[in-house]
Amino acid sequence: MKVQFIGAAQTVTGSKTYLQVDNKKILIDCGMYQGIKSIVDKNYNPFSFDPAQVQFLFLTHAHLDHCGMIPRLYKQGFKGKILCTKNTRKLAEIIMMDSARIQQSSFLDFKRDKKVRKSLKKQREALYDENDVRGVLECFETYDFDHKISLGKIDLTFRKAGHILGASSLEIHSNNMTYYFSGDLGRMNDPLEYAPYIPKKVDHLFIETTYGDRLHDKEDPVEELAKILKANQKSHGRVLIPSFAVARTQLLLRHLYMLFEKYPELKLPIYIDSPMTKKVTDLYLQESGELRVDKNTLQDYFSIAKFLKWQSDYKKLERDQHPCIIISASGMLSGGKVLQHLNTIARNERNHIVLVGFQGEGTLGRDISQGIDIVKTKSGKLPIRAKVHHLHTLSAHADKLELETWIKSIESGPTNLYLMHGEKETVENFKTYIDEKFNCKTTIAVENKEIEI
């Protein structure tokens, strides 16, 4: 098997791994680069392989950094099969359609605005449009977890990864070897998602390392949120929570529901301003059978929030200025409706901004989490006077200890470990840590490097 690490190699975005095995050309994930401009610009570079030659794409899950470039792959000639779980396919449709609308909107801004053209020199066209998404959706084939799929001399099985609805790890058998691609591994004790599946035997393990050099806070997220709401009760402000539409907002609503049950005096109106989040939340209800909690319980969690439907709802919310919680995408403040709310909430010292997950390098969320007082946005310079909180307890990624425990739980192997999907310093620190724990060869994925195993 030949393996080329294309994306998510010493970075946490742009996941793409290219395999050549048994005369087949396979791509694992095809994600979008996010973060600083030099990384985002890679989305406009040609693929390092011929999309038309790719026969299969194995999709681990539907986050944008794993599925966001699939329509562009299709636009440039891919006509193979995309294999994934049924809920990954459903979520991917929502994510890719939303991304297509953003691409088209950005392209229109690029054509109209000279300042935008100057700052986005490489953007000559939208990456793709909604027609590309509709076309590539015809390529999807869905499978149940734990069902073995035979592709000639290759056997593929999707295993539960936790993380988000439909997320999978890939167990691939070929030439008497087991290759395991973790995808993004979830937490061991997530209130909504089941813990990741533990394989029995692995020869070559390709593992994510997003939180490979740190431990998640052990504090109860309900209590951490309660502290923030108590502070906000004194300041009579508003609480803005930039949140990812998939999994994070649904988990956040669960914690807020539990908080209000325990501390009813802290109850505030909750408004969610994100059409995509509404679609995802509805899907979570529809597919609750895949989760730890039943549909009725989920409905209770989600009932505490009101989704804004119209621009008039937003304007009314802005006029009233009563204390409330506003949840909006995106989670790293990299775009979306959340920026409208940030522009007003950030300026007032009575308010609070709550970051609830990993903030990628170069994102506005990273800048704010690092305490920068004045940040740059598309609208200009924005002073951050609101109190900023960063809750690491809500991460959907396994941390250093959880990754170690998961690897230790594998009955046989791995003999070779490949570290992917982590920032450079994080991956290097995790390698040092893991080399002391396991007797196996550890390799750090290098962008565009090909290895033969």
CATH code: domain of residue 226: 3.40.50.10890
How far apart are alpha carbons 345 and 327 in whole angstroms? 12
Using left for φ > 0, alpha for ψ between -120 and 50, and beta otherwise, residue 33 falls in beta
Q: Is residue 231 domain-shared with residue 104, that is, in the same domain?
A: no
* Number of folded domains that form the chain: 2
Q: Is residue 295 domain-shared with residue 352, that is, in the same domain?
A: yes
Condensed to tens digits (0 to 9), the pLDDT of residues 116-156 reads 555 555 556 899 999 999 999 999 999 999 999 999 999 99
CATH code: domain of residue 446: 3.60.15.10
**Percent of the chain that is helix, strand, coil (3-state, to 5):** 35, 20, 40
Q: Which of 36-45, 138-147, 187-196, 341-350 comes out lowest in average pLDDT? A: 36-45
Q: The tokens of 364 are what?
A: 């506005």
Q: Which of 284, 222, 288, 232 is nearest to 258 (CA)?
A: 222
Q: Is residue 373 domain-shared with residue 437, that is, in the same domain?
A: no
Condensed to tens digits (0 to 9), the pLDDT of residues 282-322 reads 999 999 999 999 999 999 999 999 999 888 888 888 888 89
Give the gyration radius of the chain's Cα atoms: 22
- Domain residues for the domain of 37 are 2-214+398-452
Percent of the chain with pLDDT over 70: 96
Q: Is residue 427 domain-shared with residue 356, that is, in the same domain?
A: no
3-state class of 172 per DSSP? strand
| pLDDT of amino acid 121 | 54
Q: What is the average pLDDT across 48-73?
A: 97
> Residue 110 above 60 pLDDT?
no
Q: What is the average pLDDT across 195-203?
A: 98
Q: Is residue 69 domain-shared with residue 165, that is, in the same domain?
A: yes
Q: Is residue 318 domain-shared with residue 263, that is, in the same domain?
A: yes
Residue 50: how many CB atoms within 10 A of its CB? 12
- One-letter amino acid for residue 331 of the chain: G
Beta strands 204-208; 416-420: pairing state: parallel
Q: What is the average pLDDT across 172-189?
A: 96
Q: Which of 30-34, 150-154, 264-268, 312-316 comes out lowest in average pLDDT? A: 312-316
Q: The tokens of 139 are what?
A: 């390529």
- One-letter amino acid for residue 8 of the chain: A
